Amino acid sequence: MQTKIPEQIINTPQGKKADEILRSCVHCGFCSATCPTYQISGNELDSPRGRIYLIKSVLEKNQVSKDTVQYLDQCLTCRACETTCPSGVEYSQLIDIGRELAEPKRAWWQKLYRAGVRQLLTTPVLFNSVALFVQHSSINTPAITPSAVTARVLLLTGCVQPALAPNINHTTKNVLATLGVEVVETTQTQCCGALEHHLSAQEKALQQIKSNIDAWSELINSGIEAIISTASGCGVMVKDYKTLFEKNDPYYQKALLVSEKTQDIAEYLLGKDLSVLRVKANNISYHAPCTLQHGQKLPGIVEKVLAKVDIQISPITDSHLCCGSAGSYSIFQPTISKQLRKNKLQHLSASNPDIIVTANIGCLMHLSSGTDIPVKHWIELLDISENA
């Protein structure tokens, strides 16, 4: 794609990156076939290619209308288009740039509403009070300590997960302890930056990200083997830290190290001997979060780990499509979000499962609010309480 971005923009790191990404798109439109919003509306402007053209207009002509903001907002940042694109277009980086440039044109009341939601979700004292009323799971098994330590890892506890579903981190720690892995927990008092970053609050996001990088780098230097994430939405953000700094930025090397050390819990367990772990359930349906399959480029990884403990997952229709959760998307775009959840639950329920599992707290909460079938994190299937 040819571009004519004005010099004052192209000479900025953001403008340069956007120009590179735009030029890599050959406007073939293959990506539209797997775009959830295009599938619902059939509108080209709700497709990846349509949004790429909108962002091109923002960059070249500073052309931002109310509709531009709306179509950019309606993108789930699910990155299914990146998986499909034959040219390797880094769409998610482009949409972040486009959204940031379009942000000043957003209506004042939208800015206020979004700032309020951001504040609520990223302020532990506020969020924890609300979470008391919507808590999803509690801890019912004893904590295990490793008998012989073979490795140490840092567990990213997440900002909303401990309040909403504390059993996820608890089970993860027990699974790791059973395998002889000692867990160092972050005293994570703030978000990984994903919420602020995807809601165009870049300055705040960078503050949080730099503070996390500083804290986690110290732990890496103390000899931890990996940084483990149990929420794929947080994991993909931390893995992307390295893309947020220019190579000459003092934070680049540290960000690169943090990103490279970060693994989803499924990625970490895949190479381990899991024969000591017990299987808790069968007849399971699995929803692969977009942040795991498209964002972290790990399609099929949870299925592989579960197969190692003899849990077979039946394939579901349209497993590549988003469930509509997408971070704060379900709050700001409830109509599309509910339609996608309805479609996803229909496919997940087709085999009459006893339980639905997933790998991200956002998907878990969103799906469970639309069905009577219990929804859990897949790690919770690995019952090790009787080994305690």
Binding site for ligand SF4 (CB under 6 A): 25-31, 35-37, 48-49, 51, 75-81, 85, 87, 89, 91
Angle formed at CA 252 by CA 248 and CA 257, multiple of 5 degrees: 145
Contacts of 187 (CB under 8 A, 6+ apart): none
Q: Which helix (H) or strand (E) holds 55?
A: helix 48-61
Residue 294 beta carbon to ligand SF4: minimum distance, rounded to whole angstroms: 8
Residue 234 beta carbon to ligand SF4: minimum distance, rounded to whole angstroms: 18
Q: Would you say 48 or 158 has its CB closer to ligand SF4?
A: 48
Residue 162 beta carbon to ligand SF4: minimum distance, rounded to whole angstroms: 28
Neighbours of 283 (CB within 10 A): 12
What angle, 0 to 180 degrees and rounded to 10, lies between the N-to-C axes of helices 91-102 and 66-73?
140
Residue 53 beta carbon to ligand SF4: minimum distance, rounded to whole angstroms: 10
Q: Would you say 344 or 377 has its CB closer to ligand SF4?
A: 344
Q: Quote the CA–CA distance of 192 and 155 in Å, as a whole number.
A: 13
Q: Quote the CA–CA distance of 151 and 41 in Å, as a whole number.
A: 49
Residue 84 beta carbon to ligand SF4: minimum distance, rounded to whole angstroms: 6
Check if the beta carbon of residue 217 is closer than 8 Å to that of residue 177.
no
Q: Would you say 51 or 210 has its CB closer to ligand SF4?
A: 51
Q: Would you say 59 or 81 has its CB closer to ligand SF4?
A: 81
Q: Would you say 40 or 270 has its CB closer to ligand SF4?
A: 40
Q: Quote the CA–CA distance of 343 and 338 in Å, as a whole number.
A: 9
What angle, 0 to 180 degrees and rounded to 10, lies between the N-to-C axes of helices 361-368 and 334-349?
80
CA atoms within 13 A on the CB side of 347: 18
Type of residue found at 179:
L
Q: Quote the CA–CA distance of 39 and 322 in Å, as a whole number.
A: 11
Q: Would you say 35 or 183 has its CB closer to ligand SF4?
A: 35
Residue 36 beta carbon to ligand SF4: minimum distance, rounded to whole angstroms: 5
Q: Would you say 86 or 271 has its CB closer to ligand SF4?
A: 86
Check if the beta carbon of residue 32 is closer than 8 Å to that of residue 38.
yes
Residue 64 beta carbon to ligand SF4: minimum distance, rounded to whole angstroms: 18
Q: Would you say 89 or 159 has its CB closer to ligand SF4?
A: 89
Pairing between β-strand 226-229 and β-strand 262-264 as defined by DSSP bridges: parallel
Q: Would you say 146 or 233 has its CB closer to ligand SF4?
A: 233
Residue 31 beta carbon to ligand SF4: minimum distance, rounded to whole angstroms: 3
Residue 28 beta carbon to ligand SF4: minimum distance, rounded to whole angstroms: 4
Residue environment code for 45-84, b if the CB has 16+ CB neighbours within 10 A, otherwise e: bbbbbbbbbbbbebbbeeebeeebbebbbbbbbbbbbbbb
